Structure 1
């Protein structure tokens, strides 16, 4: 009898242990709500210290695998709400309920022309570029405004890598003068005059002066859109002002950061054109309709092949082009001194043969608080850019060039 009881006890212990191990692997479920009790869809639930994450559904519910060992921490975040962390010490018997508080965006500090203010104290119209947009690898800073600032109309004036970008914040205010805003980088106005850079050709696209700035160095981008900009900067701010603040070191904190990007660009769709035989037939039909005759032309002893496919000039001119960016930054600081050093290599090949844009840049930001009344701030930026630019109307000429191929007569 005693032996049977011992066997039953051991069997029960094994079953209990097996049940605990199985339950420890069950997913952690829960719901994320706002302060009114409504579910928050699209919230991110991350298991801190691992790559496991989950997104809440339309009702705010989520399910995420647990860590290998308890306890562990869940981070819950969504735009417009304060991030919250929850410690999970054991497998919860009930779904976890998380209530997020609304973030007070009015307490954010915004850089204006004459210093820094809290957003709630600003009477003018100020827009800021979201942090997700600022991390994009682009040739010039104006492209970061596209689709991220309400009311800003950003137009690419050419397909040339590193080429010009037209930005209108307050509409087209002049018939003959430009409508681009004033750019202020770390307190220094920058002249965005496209006439100063011709890339070595007189009939090609102009290179954007702002393409010499590494966008990875940018900390904040604030846009002054109303008349308050003219009160600060005078007539130069009549078209709006874009205030750019670059990164600086952190107090009593050091870090070394490296990030890289590589991508491919290509023409998604070319314009359908006639081949050599179709082009020659069309030309003969046009001559016949006008009562004329046409013969195969020759050029310097060469006759033109009008029977085959000829040359697809679009296929010959366009290519699959690469774009890459490499950034290395060193940030450091003490109680009184902050230092930021960064370097960047950016290379964008154009989808048109023999076109590209290359940039080497380096920046040093030094901020030293000597005492309560005296502060030294130095921002030094060095940049070297080079571009191979295609002549004007090259794509239009490709479409107008006959597809006939030449061969030696004889």
Structure 2
């Protein structure tokens, strides 16, 4: 165990508490520690400072900087990670003052995305985000451009690409743009086919590590394929599976990347097409980790990003997950909501029941006569509609049920 720890990069965390971030500062610093562990770093020390405004040269005050320099020497620190976004000049000044590699929260998140990317599209998106972020930081001096040793902050594009001049990097970004547009076109074609199929679409959305992948696997059942782990950003790629909710009634379920406080704008831009999968659904399931003491801040972060992605007009079912380890006095802050632990024996059934109840609110009632000679169409009807009653008449079946307003056209053939 000691041998493994010695191989880990030794990290010092730093943060500046301003009046504008007082409410979320504690949770943000705790999250920075979790992000560092996710990236494989070992947190040795942490320094924070309250200020009216950040220091323009070094983000943090000179006195605190001196304390950090001493802690770096004593703790054999390899890297300092700031919770705030650093300007290129601040980055250079800090590395010159501290004598070690300095990165910020944004670069750390980009680094984790580079570790997690599995698909060709995901890798392209991460590389584009990293190059866009690092382009203004190619100042040609300081430790920033001499990181041959690797470690946190060095994954993704690689040192050789970072040493290209700005023109070559812009050319690479343009090349990635073209490749992503082709992938986006393919995604759009798949999306159109899915829409034409008449399947009701549900999307999972939520803060990272809230349990979205676990929920997808629980609903899909025996064919579970989504990677799930108790870690930040366990999955990046949008995944869509078919789920039977009731008898033959089938919906599509899409899982996308989780959100986080101060998600880098470069990532939001690069993952735009992936995130837009959530905009093409009929119902959103907002998954919240009820066991996290900062769940209310997480909720507001997700709602803010939903607003940015123009998802606020889509019906939402809030699901408070991990109730088995939540505080006994837990109370939900969003509604409508259900509380469950998806890993419990009846967790998936509770969720299916809650989804069906939500669909009863959203769907339209219908009645139709299906001639006996067309009875072979009944199984197909059951796939897209909730059939509640089936009565035999003189010439055919009287079918009563519920169907999505967007799929009323599917009844025309009947």
Bigger fraction of residues in helix: 2
Q: Which category describes the TM-score, using the shorter chain as reference length?
A: under 0.3
TM-score by length of 1: 0.21
